[in-house]
Structure 1
């Protein structure tokens, strides 16, 4: 294993660990902060570099990977817990299902890379590309979660209300 590969592997494992930790924490949802994590992951990914092969098969696998990221983001958004406190502040928290979907997406991307290797397609996702894919998932998730909040009438309200849980998953 080369030094670059070892560093990339350590970086990916650390970022996955951090993502899992963040998903288990309760977070306050605000209009201005909803895309913060997606932006952080996206900027880091672009700074680390995104190298996409121009081979048609590799482009197809990249499109499949992007679609999987967006699809998992949409599924995770539907399973994210939402509630409002007595001051009208909206909070979110991931569930076992959202964590499972996140891990399934990572496993799918590893399987996609393994498939590409065995069929000799020049598709190799580096850390930058993984970060951009995660940014897409988080951006889709943030958009749909915010739409759920708006549909409940919580987006602009700061009036006190009873805590209500919606979309709770086990």
Structure 2
């Protein structure tokens, strides 16, 4: 990874950590927004290739598995509650720690692969794609926990339904 890629990765990880510390409303149709952003940036930046050896496939499977497991854990341990007609969520110290440890593990896997001469092509884009995968699983679990609490599927704020046709009650 270049110095610029490392700086961008640190900034994106920092932003993701910041977002996790903030309370935000859970809305069904926007739950994958951050994962999509990270995935697009990962695809645009590049830094990955199709594995062509058994070891590369093994490292890819381990990395994918780590993303899924961490996403499921984070989704189940994120705080989710109903407050004032909105369903909110917020990361915890545990979920933020899992995120940081996952990113460090992915950097570690890439470093081991490089120095063991298993692969020298992994990089920034690959890490962002793995983070995006983790976010997809996390967002879906949070959504499944928030939906029974009354989380909105789409639309504008139910507390201020101006402009939301699906929340306007018909007149009798």
**What range describes the TM-score normalised by the shorter chain of this pair?**
0.7 to 0.9
Change (3 A) 1:118 1:154: same
In our comparison, the structure showing a higher alpha carbon Rg is 2
- Give the TM-score normalised by the residue count of structure 2: 0.82
Of 42, 54, 57 in structure 2, the residue corresponding to residue 56 of structure 1 is: 54
Q: Is residue 2:20 matched to residue 1:14?
A: no
- 1:154 maps to 150
Deviation at 1:114, TM superposition (A): 2.6
Q: Is the 8 A contact 2:47 2:126 kept in 1?
A: yes
- 1:107 maps to 104
User: CA–CA distance in 2 between the matches of 1:60 and 1:80?
Assistant: 30
Q: Is the 8 A contact 1:58 1:123 kept in 2?
A: no
Change (3 A) 1:35 1:65: same
User: CA–CA distance in 1 between the matches of 2:63 and 2:106?
Assistant: 7
Deviations 1:131-154 (A, max 9, x none): 11111000000011111123x342
Write the mapping of 1:18-167 to structure 2, written as runs, cut at 5 A: 18-52=15-49, 53-86=51-84, 88-150=85-147, 152-155=148-151
Query: Where do 5+ consecutive residues of structure 2 fail to align?
Result: 160-172
Q: How many residues align?
A: 154
Q: Is the 8 A contact 2:81 2:146 kept in 1?
A: no
Task: Give the root-mean-square deviation of aligned CA atoms.
Answer: 1.9
Change (3 A) 1:140 1:6: same
Deviation at 1:156, TM superposition (A): 5.3
